[in-house]
Every structure is written in structure tokens, then in C-alpha cells.
Amino acid sequence: MEQDTGQKENFQREANNILNKGNQRSGFFRVLGHEIWEFLKIVIVSLIIVLPIRMFVAQPFIVRGASMEPNFEDGEYLIVDELSYLLRKPERGEVIVFRYPEDPSQFFIKRIIGLPRETVVIENGSVRIQDATGGNGFALDESYLSDTVVTAPDSTVTLEAEEYFVMGDNRMESSDSRRWGTLENDLLIGRALLRLWPLSELGIITSK
């Protein structure tokens, strides 16, 4: 009888050990599941906040090529403001990012030179702007260019409503409205707002 009693006690202890281990495992998985759920909630909330900003307010852009040198160098990291042009019209001198008219899957960066219904006259290395009245207009002040920059070739382009004339600051290396024509408004993505990289150039981007 004593042997039977001892066996029963051993069996009971083993059973209790198994139950305790099971409870420990169950508790571990409950804690793990709770932590995973908390992490997922953070991810979901972050996506709810970030995605609308990324899609409708601002997006990153990396400069490729030499067309905007020396003001924008290859590899610079910019933030593009997508909201402003929903509230107002683009302005002359602003640096914009847009879909390349001949291949909308590509994104270009240029500067706005001519506005809708204006006439852009390139002559003797400089740019003149005429409004719809057809007067003499005015010579475009391009203080963002060095004095040695020459704009060529000579041409005259009259813009329709919702069309823009854009050029790169590096006039000798830029593929722009002089080559492929005017830029339609619906191809605009936004204006270059902020330079994040390199850190030595960190700051707000102006049109001057």
C-alpha cells in the first residue's frame, strides 16, 4: 500500500509539473501575442498618418544628372511639396518636379521660366518674356545663374492655357522645353521645398 501511495504521489507531482510547464508556455504565448498586437497597432497607426502625407502632401526625390548644376547636384535628396499647387498656381522661378512628357514613368527636375499664355523669346543668349498683349515684355532676371551662362538656341514659344516653359539651370546639359516642348499642368508633381542631403546644404529651397 505504501508503494502504491508513493507511486500516486510521484504521478501527481509529474502531472502538476506538466500542467505548470503548460501554463508557463501558455503565459509566454499570451505575452508574445500581446506584444505583437501592440507592435502591429503602432505600425497601423503610423501608416494611417504617414501614407496620406506621402501620397498627397510631400514625397522624396533624388536628383539625377547634371541638368540643374550648380544649384542642384547629382545625388542630392529633396522633399517635394505636392500640396501648394492644389491651392495656388505655380510661379516663375520655382524649381519643380514633374513627369517627363515623352515618358511619364520618369521624373524630371527643372525651373519654371514661362507661365501660361506668355511668349518665351530666347535671343542672343538671354530670355525675354512677353504677356498675352504682345508688348515688348521684359528681360528675365535669372539671378540663380552665373554670368557666364548662355541660353541657346534662339527660339520663340507661345504657351497655351495650362502650359509651362521649363529649363534646367545647366543650360548646356539640360533636356527641357527647348527640346521636347512645353510642359502641361497635369504632369506637375510639385515644387522642390527642402534639401535634406547633403547635410551641408540642408535647408529650404527658394526660387532665387
Residue numbers annotated as active site: 67, 110
Question: Is the Cβ–Cβ distance between 176 and 67 less than 8 Å?
Answer: yes
Q: Letter for the amino acid at 51?
A: L
Which of these, 168, 65, 73, 60, lies nearest to 112 by C-alpha position? 168
Any residues with CB less than 8 A from the CB of 168 and at least 6 apart, and which?
Answer: 67, 68, 109, 110, 111, 174, 175, 176
76: its cell numbers: 542630392
B/e letters for 181-208, b = 16+ CB within 10 Å, e = fewer, are ebbeeeebbbbbbebeeeeeeeeebeee
CA distance linking residue 67 with residue 172, whole number of Å:
8
Span between the terminal Cα atoms of the chain, in Å: 102
User: What number of other Cβ atoms are within 10 A of residue 128's Cβ?
Assistant: 16
Burial of 23 from C-beta contacts in 10 A (0-12 / 13-18 / 19+):
exposed
